[in-house]
Amino acid sequence: MRFVKSLRQYVLIFGFSAALAACAGLSQSPKSAVTAVPNEASGAKAAAKTSPADSAGASAGAAAGASATTGTAGPLPLADVAPPLSPDVVRAFDASLRALQQGRSADAERGFLALTRSNPELGGPHANLGIIYRRAGKIAQAVSELEFAVRDSPRQSVYWNQLGITYRQQGQFSKARQAYERALGLDPTYASANLNLGILFDLYLWDSKRALELYDRYLVLSGGDDKVSKWVTDLKNRNRDRTAVARKEQE
């Protein structure tokens, strides 16, 4: 989304870096994580956390799997290896996650900021800050933090998906596409990234053929999704002069 079983889902989006991912194994079911995020899947069409529209794979800052379906990607490659993490760092990270899950965003932000200073090599704290800022409407700050996250942990497909969602919200569609494609390059079975890229092609890049291919792939990977199935039908029959049904990306 392992250290302790409970961290499996957290690492998905909020995990430390590949280093943590290495210890924790990423059970990724971006949709099935702990909390739901701003749903972009958080993504393009507008379906929010429970709408397959923006699969970012994790739920809002705390729950790694957003409410949408996001495929499961097994343990990520151990490309970003960091030194062993001290118990204090792990406790601080866990406390920040709990604060985020409990809706104490200010406390979570302080905790993650402290970790970025004490352990700048870890991508997880930056990724979580990015989600916190995005939920608060601070898109430029969210982009900055998520760019740090993928720089520090470039093999974390979940971070790239979250960055794609944030670029899309900023109106940077080309960069959003690149970020989603990076996520899929790392994990082609990442359901949420397939869905989010489909939403991008559907509503923002106007490539219905590519959008349908990605929606179909998402439906296979997710095991089915009534909402997305309706989008597929709508897209096949849609008159482009009509207003498109809102869709949100999946976190």
Phi, psi of 58 (to 5 degrees): -140, 165
Name which residue leads in pLDDT, 159 or 23. Answer: 159
In order of 87, 142, 151, 163, 222, the CA distances from 7 in angstroms are: 14, 23, 22, 21, 22
Residue 238's pLDDT band, with cuts at 50, 70 and 90, is confident
Phi-psi group of 86: left, alpha or beta (phi > 0 → left; psi -120 to 50 → alpha; rest → beta): beta
CB 1 within 8 A of CB 28: yes
In order of 124, 157, 164, 187, the CA distances from 202 in angstroms are: 30, 22, 15, 22
pLDDT tens per residue across span 207-227: 999 999 999 999 999 999 999
Query: Which helix (H) or strand (E) element contains residue 20?
Result: helix 18-24
Checking if the pLDDT of 184 tops 70, the result is yes
61-65, 70-74, 79-83, 228-232, range with greatest mean pLDDT: 228-232
Q: How confident is the model at residue 92, as a pLDDT?
A: 93
Integer Cα distance of 39 and 77 in angstroms: 27
Architecture of domain 7-237: Alpha Horseshoe (1.25)
Angle between helices 105-118 and 123-135 (to 10 degrees): 150
Name which residue leads in pLDDT, 43 or 242. Answer: 242
Average pLDDT, the chain: 72
Integer Cα distance of 118 and 162 in angstroms: 23
pLDDT tens per residue across span 84-105: 788 999 999 999 999 999 999 9
Looking at this protein, which amino acid is placed at residue 194? N
Name which residue leads in pLDDT, 240 or 77. Answer: 240
Residue 245's pLDDT band, with cuts at 50, 70 and 90, is low
Q: What does pTM read for this prediction?
A: 0.69
| Cα-based angle 61, 183, 150 (whole degrees, multiple of 5) | 60
* Sequence ranges of the domains in the chain: 7-237
The 10 Å Cβ neighbour count of residue 20 is: 28
Q: Is 142 exposed, middle or buried (0-12, 13-18, 19+ CB in 10 A)?
A: buried
Integer Cα distance of 24 and 2 in angstroms: 3
Q: How confident is the model at residue 250, as a pLDDT?
A: 73
